[in-house]
Amino acid sequence: MAHLDKAALRGIFRYRPQALPASEDPAAPPSDLRRIRWRRFSADPARMTAIYIGGGLLWVLGGDPLLSAWLAGAELSPMLGPLANALLITASGGLLYRLLSVQVETTRRAHLVQDTRLAEFIEMIVDMAFIKDREGRYLLFNSAGARLAGKPLAECLGQDDRALFPADMALKRMAADRQVIANGHPLNREDTFDIGGERRILQSTQWPYRDADDRIIGVVGIARDITARKQADERSWRARDELESRVRARTAELVTANRTLERLIAARVQTEIALRDSEERFRQLAEHIREVFWVYGIVEERLLYVSPAYEEIWGRAVRNFQERPLDWLEAVHPDDRPRIQAAHTAKLESGRLDEEYRIVRPDGTIRWIWDRGFPIRDAAGHVYRIAGLAEDITARKLAEDQLRRQQVELAKMSRLSLAVELASNLAHELNQPLAAIVAYTQACLTLLREDTADPRELTGTLEEVVNQGLRAGGIIRHLRGLVQKHPAAQTEIDLNALIRAVIHYAQLELRQADITVRLELTEPLPAILADDMQIQLVVLYLVRNAIEAMQDTDDAPRELLLRTTPLDTGTVHATVRDSGPGFGPEVLERLFQPFFTTKSAGMGLGLSVSRSLIESQGGQLWATPNQPDRGVSFHFSLPVYTHYR
Ligand code: ADP
């Protein structure tokens, strides 16, 4: 690119270079040029006018053949060499001359300038554009400026701002002009003026207007009315502020909502986990317990859940419930069914169930069931479900049956023991007199043989006496033999278990007598060496006596205490203590005597038999009055099993 004389150009326009984005306009200058000012006024390239500076060149494009030629020459200049440069400089000089020639000091000359291409160009600028002389008079002005001043364009030329604009505005603008002229620098400013009663904002750029000798001869400028844009900006700022504040408020709301949501989600997740855990726990529990766990829905009028143990106990499929809701009842033993049917109906009212019944399994076997139901209430306290457990108690029932059979045996045994004891006592009581009878009878017989009495009369009688006596003796021997043939079968015994069994056996009597049983059984307790049945019998006698004694008391609380403690290394001590009326010293003395009783229907043998049974097994039985409490305590001791091994 050829260089024109910069100084020649500087006199016309000295723009502050601005880097603008490369235009896509086909008429735009080559991209390697630095564009200063570019405005397209017409779509017709022939009518297009533009000014820009690139590489030190001033370019003016337009319909003017001279300018166009200059442009063409400029573009060709690199090929043409120094001659072309000379031509271009000449052309530039011509252009400058032409431009500068329109700059006159007077209104007349200004009118002439208006006729020039420059005036046309300025006219086409949509903003106020002007050239002023050093005194601030408009040498060149355009219609946009005149419109702002509210005067015809012709009236404006040759005038200064004071004649065109309000005083304060004129003052400011002219002061700015003076500043540009004084320091030679461009000036950019934004001012707010009151023009024709309207608030206007002007954005203006002024720069020095220089002659060929670089002397400042005036001011060139453009002023744009940016009021509308500012207002639009302000509106958009306000809108943006408002939007921003709304966004901020909304964001705050969202943050709060988000936090709440997060908390809710966290709580929900927590609950779900807890629920899953509890469901899992429930499932594991319900599906692994041996009892049938069931849930009945009152509203649904059917079983909502039956645990898998049903299939094991009932021997029927859980899925049967889908078609036959009363599947479980169908299996109930015909003898129990009416009762259980009624209990089932009652359960729907009370929410409770506590029944024992038999079921007949498909293979014909019978199982005993203990079925319990408990109400489940909603928040309002209404029973809406019943949860229950059906337990297979067949084994327990069998054990009870066995115990009952044992009790019958025990009763038989107790009668036998009583008989044995009775016989033993009778033998002791009757043996001597019978022996005497036999001796006397034999003496009589001797006398008779000596003929001192009527032999036939006495003989028959005395023989009868002897026979009776001998028969009695025979009976006694026989009974003694029985006692000897029934020795205690001593084995290793858990006394605590034995006591529990006896209490179980006597539970009906205890309940009927409204007696509270308290067990203080030391665990573990050394095993004792004794005859199981005989010790059961002793404990039973003592418990029965206690029950009978307490039945006589009607005011005081009735309590039966059974206690076991190891007495020393070789002995275990048991106590049966009641809260009955007790007895005085006279009774205490005779307590263990056979046939001593204070009861109308008593035999007075229980304690004496008990004592001999305990003593026959190496133990002791004794009684102590409870002091200062009511009642009596019976104690017995028995040897420890290991002690004898
Ligand atoms: P029975 O019970 O047939 O009378 P027992 O030998 O068992 O025969 O008892 C003898 C007597 O001892 C009873 O009649 C009763 O007077 C007294 N006796 C036994 N146990 C108690 C007791 N726990 N409290 C008060 N008196 C008792």
Q: What is the pLDDT of residue 236?
A: 75
Q: How far is the CA of 593 from the centre of ligand 1 (A)?
A: 11
**Which residue has 């009511």 as its token pair?**
630
Structural domain includes residue 97: no
Residue 57 has pLDDT above 60, yes or no: no
Minimal-distance CA residue to ligand 1 atom 14: 597
Q: What is the pLDDT of residue 39?
A: 32
Could you tell me which of 501, 507, 580 has the C-alpha nearest to residue 533? 501
Q: How far is the CA of 604 from the centre of ligand 1 (A)?
A: 7
Q: Which amino acid, 548?
A: E
Q: How many CB atoms lie within 10 A of CB 568?
A: 10
Here the tokens at position 165 are: 């604009």
Residue 337 has pLDDT above 90, yes or no: yes
Residue 4 has pLDDT above 90, yes or no: no
580 within ligand 1 shell (Cβ under 6 A): yes
386 within ligand 1 shell (Cβ under 6 A): no
Quick check: 195 and 174 in contact, CB under 8 A?
A: no
Average pLDDT over residues 252-272: 75
Quick check: 311 and 317 in contact, CB under 8 A?
A: yes
| CATH code, 308 | 3.30.450.20
Q: Is 257 exposed, middle or buried (0-12, 13-18, 19+ CB in 10 A)?
A: exposed
Q: What is the pLDDT of residue 442?
A: 73
The span from the CA of 280 to the CA of 273, in Å, is 10
Same domain? For 457 and 553 the reply is no
Q: What is the pLDDT of residue 119?
A: 72
Average pLDDT over residues 428-454: 68
Of all atoms in ligand 1, which is nearest to the CA of residue 609?
A: 6
Average pLDDT over residues 436-464: 70
What is the tens place of the pLDDT at every residue in 468-480?
Answer: 676 566 656 655 5
Name every residue whose Cβ is closer than 8 Å to that of residue 341 and which is 6 or more positions away in sequence. Answer: 329
Q: Helix (H, G, I), strand (E, B), or coil: what is residue 321?
A: helix
Q: Which of 51-55, 393-397, 494-498, 528-532 is predicted least confidently?
A: 51-55
The span from the CA of 251 to the CA of 587, in Å, is 97
Q: What is the pLDDT of residue 637?
A: 95
The span from the CA of 620 to the CA of 490, in Å, is 16
**Which residue has 């043939």 as its token pair?**
485
Same domain? For 565 and 502 the reply is yes
Structural domain includes residue 341: yes
Mean pLDDT score across all residues of the chain? 75
What confidence category does residue 366 fall into, taking pLDDT thresholds of 50, 70 and 90? Answer: very high
Given the DSSP bridges, would you call strands 198-210 and 187-195 parallel, antiparallel or unpaired? antiparallel
Minimal-distance CA residue to ligand 1 atom 25: 582
Q: What is the pLDDT of residue 107?
A: 42
Structural domain includes residue 629: yes
The span from the CA of 580 to the CA of 629, in Å, is 10
Considering only residues 65 and 598, tell me which one the structure prediction assigns the higher pLDDT.
598
Q: What is the pLDDT of residue 175?
A: 93
Q: What is the pLDDT of residue 477?
A: 62
The whole domain housing 441 covers 400-486
Q: What is the DSSP letter of 643?
A: G
Same domain? For 589 and 560 the reply is yes
Angle of CA points 270, 275, 278, to nearest 5°: 125
**Which residue has 């858990």 as its token pair?**
494
**Which residue has 């899925």 as its token pair?**
319
606 within ligand 1 shell (Cβ under 6 A): yes
What is the tens place of the pLDDT at every residue in 143-163?
Answer: 889 988 889 988 998 899 999
Taking the complete model, does pTM exceed 0.85, yes or no? no
Residue 223 has pLDDT above 70, yes or no: yes
For the chain, the distance separating the N- and C-terminal CA atoms, rounded to the nearest angstrom, is 133
Structural domain includes residue 458: yes
Same domain? For 317 and 445 the reply is no
Substitution candidate for ligand 1 out of 544, 607, 613, 636 with most atoms within 8 A of CB: 607
Q: What is the pLDDT of residue 569?
A: 82
Q: How far is the CA of 598 from the centre of ligand 1 (A)?
A: 7
Considering only residues 373 and 427, tell me which one the structure prediction assigns the higher pLDDT.
373
Residue 306 has pLDDT above 50, yes or no: yes
Q: Which amino acid, 609?
A: V
Minimal-distance CA residue to ligand 1 atom 16: 598
Structural domain includes residue 558: yes
What confidence category does residue 83 fall into, taking pLDDT thresholds of 50, 70 and 90? Answer: low
What confidence category does residue 508 fall into, taking pLDDT thresholds of 50, 70 and 90? Answer: confident
Q: How far is the CA of 551 from the centre of ligand 1 (A)?
A: 13
596 within ligand 1 shell (Cβ under 6 A): yes
The span from the CA of 394 to the CA of 230, in Å, is 99
Structural domain includes residue 37: no
Residue 521 has pLDDT above 80, yes or no: yes
545 within ligand 1 shell (Cβ under 6 A): yes
Residue 172 has pLDDT above 50, yes or no: yes
Substitution candidate for ligand 1 out of 537, 540, 545, 590 with most atoms within 8 A of CB: 545
Here the tokens at position 468 are: 């009776």
Q: How far is the CA of 591 from the centre of ligand 1 (A)?
A: 7
Same domain? For 581 and 626 the reply is yes
Quick check: 588 and 544 in contact, CB under 8 A?
A: no
The span from the CA of 44 to the CA of 27, in Å, is 10
Q: What is the pLDDT of residue 543?
A: 94
421 within ligand 1 shell (Cβ under 6 A): no
What is the tens place of the pLDDT at every residue in 615-639?
Answer: 888 899 999 999 888 999 999 999 9
Final residue belonging to a domain, choices 434, 465, 486: 486
Same domain? For 365 and 335 the reply is yes
Structural domain includes residue 520: yes
Percent of residues, the chain, with pLDDT higher than 70? 68
The span from the CA of 151 to the CA of 466, in Å, is 180
| CATH code, 424 | 1.10.287
Could you tell me which of 348, 634, 613 has the C-alpha nearest to residue 486? 613
Q: What is the pLDDT of residue 43?
A: 30
Residue 180 has pLDDT above 80, yes or no: yes
Q: How far is the CA of 359 from the centre of ligand 1 (A)?
A: 46
Q: Which of 78-87, 395-404, 600-609 is predicted least confidently?
A: 78-87
Number of domains into which the chain is organized: 3
632 within ligand 1 shell (Cβ under 6 A): yes
Q: How far is the CA of 606 from the centre of ligand 1 (A)?
A: 8
Question: Most confidently modeled of 43-47, 61-65, 126-130, 142-146?
Answer: 142-146
Substitution candidate for ligand 1 out of 591, 595, 636 with most atoms within 8 A of CB: 591
Q: What is the pLDDT of residue 494?
A: 94
Task: List strand residue ranges (DSSP E) for 196-348, in order.
Answer: 198-210, 216-225, 292-297, 302-306
Q: What is the pLDDT of residue 359?
A: 95
Instruction: Kindly write down the DSSP assignment for every residue of 117-150, as one continuous string.
Output: HHHHHHHH-SSEEEEEETT--EEEE-HHHHHHHT
Same domain? For 308 and 406 the reply is no
Final residue belonging to a domain, choices 392, 417, 443: 392
Same domain? For 515 and 612 the reply is yes
Structural domain includes residue 590: yes
Q: What is the pLDDT of residue 422?
A: 63
Minimal-distance CA residue to ligand 1 atom 18: 545
Quick check: 427 and 480 in contact, CB under 8 A?
A: yes
Q: Which amino acid, 206?
A: Q
591 within ligand 1 shell (Cβ under 6 A): yes
Q: What is the pLDDT of residue 601?
A: 72
Residue 339 has pLDDT above 70, yes or no: yes
Element at 240 (helix H, strand E): helix 227-288
Same domain? For 358 and 476 the reply is no
Residue 25 has pLDDT above 50, yes or no: no
Could you tell me which of 497, 521, 538 has the C-alpha nearest to residue 573? 521
The span from the CA of 223 to the CA of 218, in Å, is 16
Average pLDDT over residues 49-61: 39
Residue 448 has pLDDT above 80, yes or no: no
Average pLDDT over residues 387-397: 88
Q: What is the pLDDT of residue 137?
A: 92
What is the tens place of the pLDDT at every residue in 85-123?
Answer: 555 555 555 554 455 444 333 444 444 444 455 777 777
537 within ligand 1 shell (Cβ under 6 A): no
Same domain? For 556 and 608 the reply is yes
Q: Helix (H, G, I), strand (E, B), or coil: what is residue 628?
A: coil
Same domain? For 543 and 462 the reply is no
Residue 13 has pLDDT above 50, yes or no: no
Same domain? For 360 and 459 the reply is no
Q: Which amino acid, 22?
A: A
Q: Which of 73-87, 378-392, 428-442, 449-463 is predicted least confidently?
A: 73-87
Q: What is the pLDDT of residue 355?
A: 92
Quick check: 424 and 438 in contact, CB under 8 A?
A: no
Minimal-distance CA residue to ligand 1 atom 20: 545
The span from the CA of 226 to the CA of 193, in Å, is 12
Final residue belonging to a domain, choices 465, 486, 507: 486
Substitution candidate for ligand 1 out of 550, 597, 633 with most atoms within 8 A of CB: 597
What confidence category does residue 413 fall into, taking pLDDT thresholds of 50, 70 and 90? Answer: low
The span from the CA of 352 to the CA of 298, in Å, is 12
Average pLDDT over residues 311-334: 91
CA 231 to chain centre: 58
